[in-house]
A and B are shown apart, each in its own frame.
Chain A
Amino acid sequence: MSESQEPGFAAQESVEVLLRLEQAIDSSLSSVIVDTETSAQSIIQHVRRLHDSASTLASYLDGTSLKTGDLGKEIDESVIFIVNIGEFIEQLPAKMERDLAAVQAVVAEINTLSELTSDVRAISLQSHILGINAAIEAARAGTAGSAFKVVADEMRMLAGNSGAMAVRINAGLSRAKQIVESGLQSTIAESSLQLAEVTKAAASIHKLRDNLNDMSQYYKTRFAVVIKHNEDLVKDIAAALGQIQYQDVVRQCIERIRAVSGRRNDALCALLGSSGEDPGAVAELPLQLELILGDYVAEENNHGHSERQTSGAPLKLELF
């Protein structure tokens, strides 16, 4: 039997291959730690940028909401102003009715005054006749009636003047009446058209205010929904930042596996060093491996994480 065919040699060769395999695994585990760390940190950076974008969005929304609120207040104030004008305009027909009644009263008064001028003209005519009669009587009296004739002439002149004055007053009153009546007719004609427009304008103003209120409510609801989504996003970001800490938990777990593998490999290397020729070393190996296993299990039991709590395990948070 050649040396390479001996059982001890095969075992030694197997252990050597096993150690090389362990080296390769350890190297891979080391790379896993580095890669997951790099990846985790990249995720954190992305998540942070996501948070910053969400904050910027929330900030814009706050600003827009405030500006919209201010604009809404200004619009409300303007609408109230316009509505007040509309209400004033709506009351105009009643006001015009009152004004019309007042103007009609003025016209009636003018008619009364016009009748009075007729009386004045009649008095003037009677005075004139009286003056003529007085002049006739003064002529009959001769020299003695000369003074009376002067009075009679003055009386006739006064009667003539008052008659002329009454005619002028009547003409003035007729013109005034004509002006008032024609002005009133045109005002009534124009107002009926304008009032129809005013009624339409008032209805439009009310509709505009209702539309504005609807639009304002629509945007308030939209803002509230977006802000709620943003709050949820921030909560999820905070949760994601917590979950990424598992990379450290896993890293430590791998480090412990690497450490225990190293101890086991040292024990195997020691056996390899003796080339299997030392029966004592071979006999000690199971004991050493048991010891390593016990230590590893104990070490694992001394480590945990917050999402893997068992009934007997310490609390996630313990305040002293």
Chain B
Amino acid sequence: MAKTIMIVDDSSTMLMSLRNSLEIAGFNVLEANDGSVALRNLQAGAKPDLIITDINMPNMGGIELIGKARALPGLRFIPILALTTESQQGKRDEAKKLGATGWLLKPVSGADLSKIIKQVLPGA
């Protein structure tokens, strides 16, 4: 059964690019255009196998989303990757402390993304 991946980004270009790359690779995709929308969907029962989130977004950024998602039941151990242009070490450390699985710089090709997903999501 195909795994489901939630992508969170305020850029509609990023969402389109990621959605198409992931669908071509055989994944189901859930989209949210900022952290607050993603959190609402997760609270409403969305159960992705992996979350890929941008860091700098309006309303709720990726770091806050990581912290709040980890507190939700059933989301303690699912992998969460940050995909961003942000490279500040302090933000990486904060994301790691809140439970992020990894930090990835934009842009990322479909082939690289598939390899990375296989690393963090065994069986994908």
Contact = CB atoms under 8 A, between A and B. Distances in A.
Contacts of A248: 9, 11, 13-14, 85, 106-107
A239 interface: yes
A307 B112 CA distance: 13
A304 B105 contact: yes
A116 interface: no
A41 B111 CA distance: 20
Given A241-B110, A242-B109, A242-B112, A303 B103 contact: no
A294 to B, nearest CB: 15
Interface string B95-123: 11000111111111111111010011000
Contacts of A316: 104-105
Contacts of A302: 86-88, 91
Interface residues of A, number: 38
A51 B22 CA distance: 13
A241 B21 contact: yes
B16 interface: yes
A302 B92 CA distance: 11
A74 B30 CA distance: 48
Interface stretch (A98-106, A172-180, A230-238): A230-238
Given A245-B14, A318-B92, A238 B110 contact: yes
Contact of A319 (B9, B87, B101, B112): B101
A314 interface: yes
Nearest to A308: B105
A241 B116 contact: no
B12 interface: yes
Nearest to B105: A306
Given A242-B21, A314-B87, A44 B13 contact: yes
Contacts of B95: 320
Interface in A269-320: 302-307, 309, 313-314, 316-320
B111 A235 contact: yes
A247 B25 CA distance: 22
A246 interface: yes
Contacts of A47: 20
A172 to B, nearest CB: 88
A243 B105 CA distance: 13
A48 interface: yes
A251 interface: yes
B21 A238 contact: yes
Which of B25, B103, B106 has most A Cβ within 10 Å?
Answer: B106
28 contacts: A37-B12, A37-B13, A40-B13, A40-B16, A237-B110, A241-B21, A242-B21, A244-B17, A245-B17, A247-B13, A248-B11, A251-B11, A252-B85, A302-B88, A302-B91, A303-B86, A303-B87, A305-B85, A305-B105, A306-B104, A306-B107, A314-B87, A317-B104, A317-B116, A319-B101, A320-B96, A320-B101, A320-B102
Interface of A: 37, 40-41, 44-45, 47-48, 51, 234-235, 237-239, 241-249, 251-252, 302-307, 309, 313-314, 316-320
Interface of B: 9, 11-14, 16-17, 20-21, 24-25, 56, 85-89, 91-92, 95-96, 100-114, 116, 119-120
